[in-house]
Amino acid sequence: VKAQGRRYVHAPPGYVCPACELVAGRNPAGEATTQADVVYRAPRALAFVSARFWPNNPGHVVVVPTRHYENIFDLSGTAALAVHLLAQRVALAMKDAYACGGISTRQHNEPAGQQTLWHYHVHVFPRYPGDGLYASDSAPTTEEERRPYADALRRSLGAPAAAEG
Ligand SMILES: [Zn+2]
């Protein structure tokens, strides 16, 4: 990709990336997210239920590449494909598991773009008529609040196929 080569880095020195910790099978230190939130592992991408819920869109999912890229500026084409194929798979699973009316994705870069996790990620939101997603804000959740959403998505997603990218 021609755009690669200029990097915009905001992760502080010594950053222990929570997404990379999840990919490695560990629970990220100091984060609410644990392995119990992971709903799908593809060879190049991983999906987990977000630790923060929007009031009318509970159970939204975050999809990350298994390799570390901070943002859209340094993302590889291979990782972009893997992340968006998994986002699509999650979206279809959400339609079944949550019976939502629609799906929205959101992706943020740099502090001005409201990025706070310094590992490229795509949010996949279940949408409902009049849900006010863009006019509302998120709140932290407990593992118990997230579990039914993670369980329902895992049931709908099934196990990864061996040949998947
Ligand atoms: Zn990372």
Task: Scan for tokens 């987990």, then name that residue.
Answer: 48
Distance 103 CA to ligand 1 centre (A): 25
Cα(79) to centroid(ligand 1), Å:
13
Instruction: With CA atoms as reference, report the closest residue to 70 among 113, 8, 124, 122.
Output: 8
Residue/partner pairs of 1-6 with CB below 8 Å, 24 or more apart: 1/76, 1/77, 3/73, 4/73, 4/74, 4/76, 6/73
Reply yes or no on whether the pLDDT at 2 is more than 70.
Answer: no
Q: What is the pLDDT of residues 31-43, one digit of tens each?
A: 999 999 999 999 9
| pLDDT reported for residue 163 | 57
Closest CA to 160 of 96, 77, 82: 82
pTM for the predicted model, two decimal places? 0.93
| pLDDT tens-digit readout, 44-91 | 999 999 999 999 999 999 999 999 999 999 999 999 999 999 999 999
CA of 107 to the centre of ligand 1 (A): 15
CA of 158 to the centre of ligand 1 (A): 25
